[in-house]
Amino acid sequence: MPVSGVVITCVDGCAQDVAQRIAAFDGVEVHGVLPDGQIVAVLEADTVDGEVQMFAGFHEVEGVVAVRLAYHHFDDTEQLPS
């Protein structure tokens, strides 16, 4: 299961509104809005492809200027045969 931390840069004055819209995405937890208008969030998805689609979807939110990956971790929860 992939988990990533992202930093989202917004148009001036839009960060709170963007944070609310981003938080509505399934698998997203917004951790805060920085004083400079950047949003810190964590994404969790069932697959890497799902996470990539979510990441790409952030670019479609009005007021988003850029989305940067700050951290990525993948745990393979399937057991391999012995």
Amino acid (one-letter) located at 13: G
The predicted pLDDT at position 63 comes to 96
Collect all residues with Cβ–Cβ distance below 8 Å to 60 and sequence separation of at least 6.
none
The predicted pLDDT at position 74 comes to 81
Instruction: Dig out the tokens for 44 from the structure.
Output: 């969790």
Contact 4, 52 (CB under 8 A): no
Give this prediction's pTM.
0.85
User: Can you give the pLDDT of all 82 residues of the chain as single tens digits?
Assistant: 889 999 999 999 999 999 999 999 999 999 999 999 999 999 999 988 998 899 899 999 999 999 999 988 887 656 556 5
How far out from the chain centre does Cα 21 lie? Answer: 11
Q: Calculate ∠ Cα 14-7-33, nearest 5°.
A: 45
Give the separation between CA 5 and CA 29, rounded to whole angstroms: 10
